[in-house]
Structure 1
């Protein structure tokens, strides 16, 4: 599968990005993949290539582009438990600077770019997020219900809060089918119930499940949180969702 380094024009500059796609000269359904807090790196490229192997054009933007091209901070090949807190401390100002306003402005640019790529087929796209990317993906799907047919999120950062713009308050705007895969420590039972109630009330076709025995970050093979069994389960759920929404499968 080929990959391509790209520059996406945005209102605030140009976001560097990675694209992965089948090498067959055909057009394929588009997938916008939002990174976890550790950013655009080889582990994300591997995930994009896996999806491309199943027949999708996958765009992975560096959402921290305002602070420089990826990798925005220096990362080790493996992010172990002992160094994770120090890395998160470096990243926290970037995470906090990525406001809802910036998320929505960037989402407009990313979707416009993705849907006009020559390798992307007409029709709806999917949005996927990991960690902080789930928040971003949900906001993107809620802001673009006419374009986003599938929304998937894994080991999310908090989705339920008292804030007026808490992600769970946006689900009434969704038209996408949704799958959320949670680690055991991602959300309290009360928050899960509140999110589920919001999705049910909005009539959103969704699944929300806890992946047993997992910790936050379980899909990422370059971290101590990685769980191979849970990652396989994540691929099963994700590919099923994409097949039902983008590929015409039942």
Structure 2
């Protein structure tokens, strides 16, 4: 399918959130995927990833995940300065604000004539965490989480007992968790902690560990693994088609 692109400024509990919308250039309606970016917000690789998913029959919404902390339209560079700013933002925004962002995105999607009521989440890096976190919302039926950071460590700011790992039992939808074995950001012990929490709470999930480094989905950089990236896109498409349709 060919893809059309729109830009929307969505009101949230913590301010206006610039959101990039990708959808098939065909008559819908289509299910929605909330696509959460890395700390750098909507870079060109993220835009291409969203376009790929939209081309398979989904409305894809890419929010500026740190909209409260940056000017509208901010994209951080893949360099040390961008990484430092992104990590600063990551530890400045409480998870509860991400929750209200997710709620605003769901309500926006369900108000669009080209969207069905079915919503899933997907993300990479901190976005993988936010996709997992989004699944705590009962309106999220499916989450595809790629090398999600900070779930295992419970280091992102939140009210006591409201970190994402502790809230795992509230997830009602189905999950796919994808990890790179050579990812230094989530150790073997960290992955084991997430797996054990999912098992002990009897969530419905698929667990996949691949021989890859962190950010193996990010085209144009040295850690990119195109063969694995294609495999992940195909698995994500099949997963969302099964759950959201």
Q: CA offsets per residue over residues 178-200 of structure 1, 9 Å max, x none? A: 11111122422222222112112
Q: CA offsets per residue over residues 24-75 of structure 1, 9 Å max, x none? A: 12210111111111211222221111111111111111112221122344x2
Cross-structure match for 2:142: 150
* C-alpha separation in 1, matches of 2:105 and 2:154: 29
Cross-structure match for 2:225: 227
2:158 maps to 1:159: no
* C-alpha separation in 2, matches of 1:3 and 1:237: 24
What RMSD, in angstroms, separates the aligned Cα atoms of the two structures? Answer: 1.7
TM-superposed deviation, 1:118: 1.6
Cross-structure match for 2:114: 119
TM-superposed deviation, 1:13: 2.0
Q: What secondary structure sits across from 2:113 in the alignment?
A: coil
Q: CA offsets per residue over residues 204-240 of structure 1, 9 Å max, x none? A: 111122111x111111113322111121121122112
Query: Is the 2:95–2:163 Cα contact (8 Å) retained in structure 1?
Result: no
* C-alpha separation in 1, matches of 2:92 and 2:186: 23
Aligned pairs (5 A) from 1:18-37? 18-37=20-39
Structure 2 residues not aligned, in runs of 5+: 156-160
Cross-structure match for 1:46: 48
- Name the structure with the higher strand share: 2
Cross-structure match for 2:234: 236
The 3 A distance-change label for structure 1 pair 30 and 17 is same
Q: What secondary structure sits across from 1:109 in the alignment?
A: helix
Query: Is the 2:154–2:165 Cα contact (8 Å) retained in structure 1?
Result: no
Q: What secondary structure sits across from 2:53 in the alignment?
A: helix
Cross-structure match for 2:71: 68
Q: What secondary structure sits across from 1:121 in the alignment?
A: strand
2:216 maps to 1:218: yes
Query: Is the 2:154–2:164 Cα contact (8 Å) retained in structure 1?
Result: no
TM-superposed deviation, 1:127: 0.6
Q: What secondary structure sits across from 1:45 in the alignment?
A: helix
Structure 1 residues not aligned, in runs of 5+: none
Q: 1:139 aligns with which of 133, 139, 144?
A: 133
* C-alpha separation in 1, matches of 2:163 and 2:96: 13
* C-alpha separation in 1, matches of 2:39 and 2:97: 16
Length-normalised TM-score, structure 1 = 0.88
Query: Is the 2:40–2:75 Cα contact (8 Å) retained in structure 1?
Result: no
Length-normalised TM-score, structure 2 = 0.89
Aligned pairs (5 A) from 1:87-102? 87-102=82-97
* Most deviating of 132-141 and 14-23: 132-141
Runs of 4+ more than 4 Å apart: none
